[in-house]
Amino acid sequence: MQTAEEHQKSVELCGEMASDPDGCVILVGLGINSLSMNAPLIPVVKKRLSEISLPDAKILAQNALNATSPEEVRNLIRECFPDT
């Protein structure tokens, strides 16, 4: 991500994780600039991203990187989005 920023390049991702409402928040927090997904999934992802600020997404992403298990990552996401 740092190298992409240094060279003013965007980082794009397509695939299942890009369209996952929880995964997309972490990806954006990590600095992914563009997410590609099937059109029917856009409203769900857009809604999720509107529910968190970029600084908070960055904190969540850093905490996810420091997590020691997938369950810990899921718990971090649940803390940010308790209504889901």
> Do residues 19 and 1 touch, judged by C-beta distance below 8 A?
no
Per-residue pLDDT of the chain (84 residues; tens, 9 = 90+): 777 677 777 778 888 888 999 999 999 999 998 999 999 999 999 999 999 999 999 999 999 999 999 999 999 999 999 876
Q: What is the pLDDT of residue 2?
A: 73
Q: What is the pLDDT of residue 84?
A: 66
List the structure tokens of 30: 């990590």
DSSP H helices in the chain: 2-6, 16-19, 21-30, 42-50, 54-66, 70-80
Please, which residues bridge with residue 35 across strands? 13
Query: What domain count does the chain have?
Result: 1
Q: What is the pLDDT of residue 5?
A: 74
Q: What is the pLDDT of residue 83?
A: 79
List the structure tokens of 65: 């990187």
> Do residues 35 and 14 touch, judged by C-beta distance below 8 A?
yes
Range(s) of the domain holding residue 19: 2-80
